[in-house]
Amino acid sequence: MTLYVDSSAIIKRYVTERDSGVAKSLMATDPVLVTSRLTEIEVRRNLVRLLEPDAALQAKRDFNQDLDAFALVNLDATTCNIAARIAEETLCRSLDSIHLAAAQRAGSATLLTFDIRQAQAARSIGLAVIGT
């Protein structure tokens, strides 16, 4: 199984919040995790937003190290075109459509997310969803 992990799941590795344990357990089930370059932006933003400065700095270091182990989908023209099509079809939020396009590009059959609206859009385009 190729598991595409979105930002709402990855952030739970560094910020203790509802379902953090679930997210970590689900990520541990797949040896090759996939995400997009968008995740780097979203997670870093949220680390600074949610954590105290020292904790955010350490979490950012941990995240950067962990990100090296992920297979990353670039936000190239093909991914963006797929995202636009998904946004038109599902009317989902733009960033969600980028994650869903990246999941499709990676050949992921399963999306790990804790974002209810993104999960609904994912299911509507045929992706299996776990987490939500």
The whole-chain average pLDDT of the chain stands at 96
Average pLDDT of span 10-35: 96
The CATH homologous superfamily of the domain defined by 3-130:
5'-nuclease (3.40.50.1010)
For the chain, percent of residues with pLDDT exceeding 90: 95
Instruction: Tell me: pLDDT of 105 over 80.
Output: yes
Closest CA to 47 of 66, 31, 34: 66
- For the chain, the C-alpha Rg in angstroms (whole number) is 14
> Hey, where are the domains in the chain?
3-130
Token pair belonging to 105: 């590009």
**pLDDT at residue 2, as a whole number:** 85
